[in-house]
């Protein structure tokens, strides 16, 4: 899922234990990780943990590195181990929720966040993330209601409101909404031509695409690389680079300026099935560069989330 606060949670590095400052070696691993040298940071973390297997901060950092590499199941194993060895710490539970949510395992994410709150009732991030999970689960329930009854206008309205609130995503059937229920609503009638989505559903889809673009540009302007990268498909790459090289390039370019300001205007969104294009005027300003371009993002609905799969500029 593309809930910004979830994605941002993965960028929080082990402020975890009320203990003395991290050992120099762990600090250096963290710096290596922040510079985008994920493979080097992971190798160094493994060597450190071979000598210090109980170091919670190094284990937490390893979990972040694995998550950034897209090794979600390995990261889950790390954070789950931390919850077993240090059940009094809320952060590993929260990051488990982040990862479970990215896999669409919302019930597991909810349980992890509830554990974080039981451990630390004043942990505001977990409360907020839990609210987002409840909203996402409600969105899925309304999706199901519409799959069973495409004319349920009350469910359409509620779904649109929730999607507008959290930037959630619409139901993800392959055919348009009218075909989402039984194969033939009236068995004796001829099969109808594919229907246009109901206005409320179409508006909700456009709002969801716009929300995905908004999260992408906000993360870019905030120089939040993890949230920025999460806006793209997991296999996205550009400029003739492999995925790892493209990620490293983007991380370097986003973090290099002292500040970034981005404004979008004249946005037009065209949606067809599970793909959409968003075309807009982009004005970029930093202490190093200024430009105004016409940009088109191509987005695809993947695992219930709108992700960027193409980007062109002219």
Average pLDDT over every residue of 274-290: 90
Three-class DSSP category at 299: strand
Contact of 58 with 45, CB cutoff 8 Å:
yes
What's residue 294's pLDDT? 93
What's residue 111's pLDDT? 94
Q: What is the rounded radius of gyration, in angstroms, for the C-alpha atoms of the chain?
A: 21
What's residue 6's pLDDT? 44
Contact of 93 with 113, CB cutoff 8 Å:
yes
| pLDDT tens-digit readout, 166-223 | 554 433 333 332 223 322 222 333 333 333 333 444 456 777 888 889 899 999 999 9
Tokens 């492999």 belong to: 242
What's residue 17's pLDDT? 43
- CA–CA distance, 154 with 52 (Å, rounded to integer): 57
Tokens of 101: 């949510």
| pLDDT tens-digit readout, 156-170 | 776 676 666 555 443
Q: What percent of the chain has pLDDT over 70?
A: 77
Q: Is the pLDDT of residue 65 over 70?
A: yes
pLDDT grade for 282, boundaries at 50, 70 and 90: very high
What's residue 115's pLDDT? 93
Domains of the chain, start order: 4-135 (1.25.40.10), 209-313 (3.10.450.50)
- CA–CA distance, 57 with 28 (Å, rounded to integer): 13
- CA–CA distance, 117 with 119 (Å, rounded to integer): 5
Which range is least confidently modeled, 67-81, 113-127, 190-204? Answer: 190-204
Distances (CA, A) of 232 to 167, 170, 284: 15, 18, 19
- CA–CA distance, 7 with 229 (Å, rounded to integer): 10
pTM attached to this predicted model: 0.48
- CA–CA distance, 263 with 265 (Å, rounded to integer): 7
Between β-strands 290-302 and 260-272, what pairing exists: parallel, antiparallel or unpaired?
A: unpaired
Closest CA to 302 of 268, 273, 263, 269: 273
Q: Is the pLDDT of residue 21 over 60?
A: no
């Amino acid at each position: 899922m593309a809930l910004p606060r979830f994605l941002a949670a993965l960028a929080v590095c082990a402020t975890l234990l009320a203990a003395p400052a991290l050992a120099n070696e762990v600090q250096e691993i963290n710096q290596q990780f922040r510079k985008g040298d994920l493979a080097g940071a992971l190798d160094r973390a493994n060597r450190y943990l071979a000598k210090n297997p109980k170091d919670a901060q190094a284990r937490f950092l390893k979990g972040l590195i694995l998550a950034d590499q897209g090794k979600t199941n390995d990261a889950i194993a790390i954070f789950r181990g931390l919850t077993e060895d240090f059940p009094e710490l809320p952060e590993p539970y929260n990051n488990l929720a982040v990862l479970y949510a990215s896999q669409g395992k919302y019930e597991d994410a909810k349980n992890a966040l509830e554990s974080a709150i039981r451990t630390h009732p004043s942990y505001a991030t977990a409360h907020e993330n839990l609210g987002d999970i409840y909203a996402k689960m409600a969105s899925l329930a309304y999706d199901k209601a519409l799959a069973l009854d495409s004319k349920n206008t009350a469910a359409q309205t509620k779904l649109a409101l929730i999607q507008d609130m959290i930037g959630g995503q619409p139901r993800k059937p392959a055919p348009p909404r009218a075909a989402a229920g039984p194969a033939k609503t009236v068995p004796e009638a001829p099969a109808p031509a594919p229907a246009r989505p109901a206005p409320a559903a179409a508006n909700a889809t456009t709002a969801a695409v716009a929300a995905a673009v908004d999260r992408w540009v906000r993360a870019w302007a905030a120089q939040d690389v993890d949230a920025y990268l999460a806006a793209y498909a997991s296999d996205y790459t550009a400029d003739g680079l492999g995925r790892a090289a493209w990620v490293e390039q983007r991380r370097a370019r986003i973090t290099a300026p002292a500040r970034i300001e981005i404004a979008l205007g004249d946005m037009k969104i065209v949606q067809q099935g599970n793909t959409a294009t968003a075309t807009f005027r982009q004005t970029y300003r930093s202490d190093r560069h200024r430009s105004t371009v016409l940009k088109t993002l191509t987005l695809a609905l993947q695992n219930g989330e709108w992700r960027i799969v193409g980007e062109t500029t002219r």
